[in-house]
Amino acid sequence: MVACSQLLSQLLQKPENYVMVSLRSGAHMLFGGTTDPCAYLEFKSLGLPLSSTPLFSEAICKLLGAETAIDKSRIYIEFSAPERPMWGWNGGTF
């Protein structure tokens, strides 16, 4: 998870203290009609540069594949860029 946090910080060009990574393993998932290893990721960031999502997808799939041996064809990433008032932190919003 540390490598993922560092990668996301680098990709987003944001300090790592703004990056949060959560991993839930052991979920029962069926994808493409099989239970072969797969992953679903949610990538949310304020100011997410939409033109960079292909690069982000490539880098994340490469890291996840190396760490888990999940084939990139079995990894889905949902990118979202919420508006600043819709993201709360430290008792306020951005």
Q: Is residue 56 part of a domain?
A: yes
Domain count, the chain: 1
CA–CA gap between residue 63 and residue 34 (Å, rounded): 23
CA–CA gap between residue 87 and residue 34 (Å, rounded): 36
Give the domain range for residue 48: 29-94
CATH of the domain at 92: 3.30.429.10
DSSP conformation letters of 11-40: HHTS-GGG-------S----BTTB-SS-EE
Look at residue 21 in the predicted model and tell me its pLDDT. Answer: 95
Model pLDDT for residues 20-70, shown as the tens digit of each residue: 999 998 899 999 999 999 999 999 999 999 999 999 999 999 999 999 999
- Ramachandran angles phi, psi of 9, nearest 5°: -60, -45
Q: Quote the tokens at residue 18.
A: 């703004």
Look at residue 43 in the predicted model and tell me its pLDDT. Answer: 96
Look at residue 1 in the predicted model and tell me its pLDDT. Answer: 87
